[in-house]
Amino acid sequence: NAGVTQTPKFQVLKTGQSMTLQCAQDMNHEYMSWYRQDPGMGLRLIHYSVGAGITDQGEVPNGYNVSRSTTEDFPLRLLSAAPSQTSVYFCASGQYTGELFFGEGSRLTVL
């Protein structure tokens, strides 16, 4: 009963380093998305995908890259980490009912 799995749960980076946050879901959902959660700002959409091979930008896409080669996986890449990208990142998936299923989150600190 895995649902949405995110790795890693915690990561510390230095400014300028790159990394990939992994997200996998086993519910055969077409829709997947990445949000970041910051104090006082709620959740903000970074990128989303409505199916394999299709991605689009959300509200705060700068500094992030995504791809969707399979239905199951939706990795988020930080190209050159900046302190402003210190945040908690959530991956979510869903179908056309409006309900999103979230992973447990990945806490990223950029020094």
Binding interface with other proteins (CB under 8 A): 4, 31, 33, 35, 40-45, 48, 50, 58, 90, 92, 94, 96, 98-105
Provide the Cα torsion 37, 88, 20, 12; round to 10°.
Answer: 140
Cβ-Cβ contacts under 8 Å for 68 (sequence gap 6 or more):
32, 49, 51, 52, 53, 54, 55, 74
> Toward other proteins, which CB reaches closer, 43 or 52?
43
Minimum distance between the CB of residue 101 and other proteins, rounded to whole angstroms?
A: 8
Report, in Å, the least distance between residue 9 CB and other proteins: 10
